[in-house]
Each structure stands twice: as structure tokens, then as C-alpha cells.
Amino acid sequence: MQKGEMQKEEIQESRIQEDIKIAVLRIEGTNCEDETVRAFRELGVFAEAIHLKQLYSDMIRDDEKRRLADYSGIVFPGGFSAGDYVRAGAIFSARVKSVLRKDLEDFIMNDYPILGICNGFQILVELGALPGFDEDRPLAETPEMVLAINNSNRFECRQSLLKHENKGKCIFTKNLGEQIVMFPVAHAEGKVTFPASAEKAYLERLIDNDQMVFRYVNEDGEYAGYPWNPNGSVYNIAGICNVKGNVFGLMPHPERAFFAWNHLDYPRNEIDDYGEGRLIFQSMIDYIRKLK
């Protein structure tokens, strides 16, 4: 690391305020926790990647033990948790349910925010936290939707254009207007699928409740099929929130569009130090500040 960079890191560390603590939960196979932690720290709040076991195991050293209640925000990061065995996110979700179900339900019911990115979205879906229609039961007994294998049967890894459609419910996109953002996708299982018999009803509920957040569009801002919709998601859905707006899952990666230099057009198109992905993390922090 060069001297200039080191100084910058130090300055950054010194302005981190610990009034807000964010937990980025990891297990074997998650791989986006570092970028996600970096995003929060860049915005001046404390964030750390913690292993799920640090929250419940009695085999953990005292100084490494953590409690969910000490955090004011949780992120399930991207990656391939537990090797995507069984189904993407299924094993992480089963482990969370077995040890933290009540804690997580309290967390959501107490208005604290949970963000799931890519594999994190899959985990929230398997947990029954999304679509999350029932405010009093934030984790449904069985999953109500699935992120199924992409129609292309391929790992789709590239930029995607997303139209922000939320009208104010989702606390993670408050800093976004009616705009189109570009975040990259990288997944093989991202096709939003509802039970065939309930698809129309679920879509109507998502729209009526203002739970629709991002939809895939083409370069003209129109809803379009493959490759613009990388996976075949119904209604071009890329991200949705729960009925309270404090649980949000999306397949594309805002943490990979955090800095200006993450952008495809950098430096031709540099207008700011940051990319549009920052707005998701900033909105989450702004919301937590108001909660306190």
C-alpha cells in the first residue's frame, strides 16, 4: 500500500462513528462481505463481517461473541453460502431459522433494517422474510416465493439497468428518485417466481403495498426480455421490500457500484466520487439515524 493510500485509510478509520453498528453476516461461501463492510465504513459508520456462529455458539472466544440486538442494521451479503447446496440460500436460511428466528423477527418488528444482496436476497426469500406480506409474522412459516434457476441456465454476470419504482415505502431507496441505475448482476438463480396459482394476486399485492422496488429495463427505460432481464423474472422484478419497507432484497449488487470507478464508463463519465450504489447504503444509514 502506498503512503497516500495508507493516510487515506487512517483518516477514514478516524471518522467512523460507532453510534450505528452494522452486522454483515457471513458463513462459509459468502464472498461479498468485505466490499459491503467497506461501503458502510466509507460512509462513516461502524460495520463488521461476523460469522453466524459468533451469535450463538458456545465455542466462541468471549471477545468474539456478538449479539444481534447490539446492531442497528443487518446485511446478508452476496456469495455462494454453503456452496449453494440444496438451493441457493437454503442452508444459510435453515441455520438462521434454527438459532435466530425469534431474534430476527424481533429485529424486523422493532423497525430495524435488513438488506439482502444477491445470495442475501435468496436467503431472505428462503427465510420467508420476503415478500413479507404479514407485518405481524415477519418470517413466513414456509417460503412464499423462490429465486429459481435463470431461464438461460447460465451464470449471468454483467451490468443491469434497473428502474426504481418505489413510491416511498422502501427505506433503502429513499435517496433515489424515479430514475434508472446501473448495478451489476452475478447469479445463476435469480428468477423471481411466485406460486403459479397465486402469481397475479401476489403481483397485485406487491404493487398495492408499494413493495415493488427495482425492475429490469433496457437502455430506453422500457421493460424488456433477455438479456435486459437476465434471468426471466416475472414482471421484470429485480428487487422487492417487505410490507413494512425495512427488509429489502435485490439480485444486483449495489456494493459493486459504490465508487465512481466501479462504473463501466469511468473515468469518461465521472461526475462524483461515488456511484449510484452508494445511495442504497446511505438511505439505510439515514433511516437508522432517524430511528435512534
Partner 1 sequence: MIADVYIELKEGVTDPEGESTKKALKLLGFENVKNVSTRKVFRIEIDENDRGKAEEEIVQMCEKLLANPVIQKYSIKWIS
CB of 84 to partner 1, least distance (A): 12
CB of 144 to partner 1, least distance (A): 7
Which candidate, 112, 127, 99, 39, places its Cα nearest to that of 71? Answer: 112
Q: Interaction with partner 1 in 3-62: which residues (CB under 8 A)?
A: none
Please indicate whether residue 118 is annotated as part of the active site. yes
Cα–Cα distances in angstroms (integers) from residue 262 to residues 5, 30, 183, 267, 274, in the given order: 18, 21, 10, 10, 9
CB of 96 to partner 1, least distance (A): 12
Distance CA 123, CA 182 (A): 23
Q: Interaction with partner 1 in 151-180: which residues (CB under 8 A)?
A: 151-153
Number of residues forming the site for partner 1 (CB under 8 A): 22
CB of 198 to partner 1, least distance (A): 9
Please indicate whether residue 253 is annotated as part of the active site. yes
Cα–Cα distances in angstroms (integers) from residue 183 to residues 36, 64, 93, 204, 238, in the given order: 14, 34, 25, 26, 11
Specify the DSSP element, H or E, that contains 90.
helix 90-109
* Interacting span for partner 1 (CB under 8 A) from 36-44, 50-58, 103-111, 193-201: 193-201
| 143 near partner 1 (CB under 8 A) | yes
Instruction: Using CB under 8 A, pick the residue from 1, 11, 59, 196 that binds partner 1.
Output: 196
Instruction: Using CB under 8 A, pick the residue from 21, 38, 65, 87 that binds partner 1.
Output: 87
Distance CA 173, CA 254 (A): 11
* Cell 453476516 belongs to residue: 25
Q: Which of 118, 126, 165, 241 is catalytic?
A: 118
Cβ proximity to partner 1, 72 vs 119, nearer residue: 119
Distance CA 22, CA 14 (A): 17
Cβ proximity to partner 1, 2 vs 142, nearer residue: 142
Residues that are catalytic = 118, 253, 255
Q: Which residues form the interface with partner 1 (CB under 8 A)?
A: 86-87, 90-91, 94, 126, 142-146, 148-153, 193-196, 232
